[in-house]
């Protein structure tokens, strides 16, 4: 019993330090970061061909949604928030929308983002990206008969067969006035044919992570099998906007194509009026983007905007009128820039603790998350993904995304993800010295209560109490069993032994069979323990036989 009590004491003491950890950081839950919107897209209107003619510029206004009485202020701008403290997004008329903060990956707004749409000339974002990844600006592109033979109303730079210009000039002609002739000439220059280039487009889209897209041409003219989604187009745009040459091109309001072998210099203009200071649709924080229009696709617009450290990609598709894409984009950007702010995690996070040398474990100093302005870190929910739980491919991918190489002297130890009101806000990488191996249990977060450990400790304690009770109740029986002996009841050839021959000191009422020396059985019977008495001379007397 003393040994048993010692074991229980040791187990109890082993759980005491566990309870001192703030919480269960190993449990994680699947969080749906997509928002559902019930507003359906209004009927598509008839319009003019892609970037071809001017449309009516009558502006429409949307009623501001009513929000909770709590507001955040940025200058003179009031941003309504809902009952959870999340800024209320504006209602939009575009059929599909995807809005992402690039640095954190935070999804800020979605609407039918996975519905397949015809992308029109926003296709040219992928065309330009592939060209930049496979060519130099100085390469010479020759326009074929196929490149300059376009359907009526298609936008172009009016190139002629046999005309030659640099790849750089072709890309400006592709992205600013949305030249379809430039798109075909670039495709033929790189892949030899439009069909071959389409294969490259689909392969690159798959590498980027597109799952619901298919491209059959480089310019985006209507084809039933040429489609994408706002979500996929946003992924493509994020990669493209990460290319400095791409950003340089789409940020130009105008560009002059030098004289060629077939033409005088050309002045071309950008169809994205939101970067033109002279336009009524000008938005000063938009860096660049790409427009798109077909009767089948409606109005489309992809933009990159930057303000207060935020970098936002906005995709609006399937809009019913010319002005709608500009108004939707403007209102969405106001909502983000006035309602959210970046927060450096390493500077403000204080809920994570270490039980070893903290100088060898660091939060990535550059990591930031996007938060509603009125919230603090204590308002957020977080979970931890340990790299110990990853296979080699997952670890390599996570390290690559974190920008960590073997030369850094540190490796990726864990990833902390942050959420609020079921919205993903961003993550921070936990880095550890290469020569330090740290178990999970030394890294804990107070974002979870101690419920897990309390339940575990209580269950173990109850189990120990039950075990003690059972052992105590069995003690008399064990003592009785120690007073028993095993006697043989059969001979080696299987013949029974008469009971009167069995040792006279045993009682024969209790039997139990077992095996010994061949096929014999034994019985367990209670043994009468004779009492040895001392003789009058002081010596022990032998028990008398019956």
Q: Which residues contact 36 (CB under 8 A, 6 or more apart)?
A: none
3-state class of 379 per DSSP? helix
pTM score: 0.66
Q: How far apart are the first and last CA of the chain?
A: 39
pLDDT at 386: 74
pLDDT at 33: 30
What number of H helices and E strands is found in the chain? 12, 22
SS (H, E, C) 511-527: CCCCEECCCEEEEEEEE
Strand order in the sheet with 310-319: 107-111, 96-101, 310-319, 298-307, 286-294
pLDDT at 526: 45
Total count of residues recorded for the chain? 546
Supply the DSSP symbol for 212. Answer: S
In the residue annotation, 362 being an active-site residue is answered as no
In the residue annotation, 178 being an active-site residue is answered as yes
How far is Cα 529 from Cα 409, in angstroms, rounded to an integer?
A: 75
In the residue annotation, 94 being an active-site residue is answered as no
Catalytic position from the list 94, 111, 124, 297: 124
Cα dihedral sign, 271-276-281-286: positive
Torsion-angle region of 253 (φ positive above 0: left; ψ -120 to 50: alpha; else: beta): alpha
Q: CA 206, 209, 214: angle at the middle one, nearest 5?
A: 45
Q: How many CB atoms lie within 10 A of CB 54?
A: 7
pLDDT at 429: 79
pLDDT at 256: 98
Mean pLDDT by 10 residues, the chain (546 residues): 59 51 34 34 38 38 39 57 87 97 92 98 99 98 97 94 98 98 98 98 98 98 97 98 98 98 97 97 98 96 96 97 94 96 76 51 74 87 73 63 57 81 83 60 44 55 72 63 50 55 47 45 46 49 48
Catalytic position from the list 178, 297, 382, 399: 178
Catalytic position from the list 94, 96, 111, 121: 121
How far is Cα 108 from Cα 206, in angstroms, rounded to an integer?
A: 24
Decide if 200 contacts 275 (C-beta within 8 A): no
pLDDT digits (tens, 9 = 90+) for 144-186: 999 999 998 899 999 999 999 999 999 999 999 999 999 999 9
How far is Cα 105 from Cα 235, in angstroms, rounded to an integer?
A: 11
How far is Cα 369 from Cα 228, in angstroms, rounded to an integer?
A: 29
């Amino acid at each position: 019993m003393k040994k048993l009590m010692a074991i229980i004491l040791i187990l109890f003491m082993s759980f005491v330090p566990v309870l001192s950890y703030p919480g269960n950081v190993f449990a994680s839950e699947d969080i749906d970061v997509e928002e559902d919107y019930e507003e359906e897209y209004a009927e598509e209107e008839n319009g003019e061909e892609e970037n071809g003619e001017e449309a009516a510029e009558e502006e429409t206004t949307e009623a501001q949604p009513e929000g909770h009485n709590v507001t955040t202020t940025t200058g003179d701008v009031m941003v309504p928030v809902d009952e959870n403290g999340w800024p209320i997004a504006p209602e939009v008329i575009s059929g599909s929308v995807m809005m992402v903060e690039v640095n954190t990956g935070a999804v800020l707004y979605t609407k039918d983002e996975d519905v397949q749409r015809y992308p029109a000339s926003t296709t040219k974002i992928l065309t330009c990206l592939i060209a930049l990844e496979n060519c130099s600006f100085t390469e010479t592109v020759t326009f074929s008969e196929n490149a300059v033979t376009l359907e009526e109303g298609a936008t172009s730079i009016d190139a002629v067969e046999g005309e030659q210009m640099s790849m750089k000039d072709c890309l400006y002609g592709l992205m600013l006035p949305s030249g379809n002739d430039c798109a075909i000439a670039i495709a033929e220059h790189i892949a030899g044919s439009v069909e071959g280039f389409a294969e490259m487009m689909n392969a690159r889209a798959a590498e980027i992570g597109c799952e619901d897209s298919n491209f059959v041409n480089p310019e985006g003219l209507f084809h039933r099998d040429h489609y994408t989604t706002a979500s996929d187009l946003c992924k493509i745009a994020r990669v493209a906007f990460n290319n400095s040459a791409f950003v340089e091109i789409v940020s130009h309001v105008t560009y002059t194509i030098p004289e060629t072998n077939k033409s005088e210099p050309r002045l071309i203009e950008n169809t994205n009026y939101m970067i033109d200071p002279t336009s009524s649709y000008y938005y000063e924080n938009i860096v660049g983007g790409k427009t798109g229009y077909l009767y089948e696709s409606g109005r489309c617009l992809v933009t990159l905007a930057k303000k207060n450290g935020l970098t936002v990609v906005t995709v609006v598709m399937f809009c019913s009128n010319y002005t709608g894409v500009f108004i939707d984009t403007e209102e969405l950007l106001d909502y983000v820039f006035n309602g959210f702010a970046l927060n450096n995690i390493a500077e403000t996070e204080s809920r994570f603790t270490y039980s070893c040398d903290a100088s060898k474990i660091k939060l990535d100093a550059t990591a930031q998350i996007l938060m509603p302005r009125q919230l603090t870190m204590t308002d957020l929910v977080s979970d931890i993904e340990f790299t110990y739980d990853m296979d080699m491919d997952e670890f390599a991918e996570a390290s690559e995304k974190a920008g960590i190489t073997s030369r850094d002297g540190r490796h990726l130890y864990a990833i902390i993800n942050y959420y609020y009101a079921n919205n993903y806000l961003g993550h921070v990488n936990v880095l550890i010295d290469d020569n330090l191996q740290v178990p999970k249990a030394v890294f804990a977060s107070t974002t979870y209560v101690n419920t897990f450990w309390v339940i575990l400790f209580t269950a173990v304690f109850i189990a120990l109490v039950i075990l003690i009770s059972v052992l105590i109740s069995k003690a008399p029986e064990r003592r009785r069993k120690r007073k028993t002996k095993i006697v043989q009841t059969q001979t080696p050839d299987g013949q029974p032994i008469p009971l009167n021959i069995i040792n006279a000191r045993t009682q024969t009422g209790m039997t139990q069979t077992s095996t010994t020396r061949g096929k014999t059985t034994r019985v367990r019977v209670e043994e009468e323990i004779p009492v040895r008495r001392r003789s009058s001379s002081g010596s022990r007397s032998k028990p008398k036989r019956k």
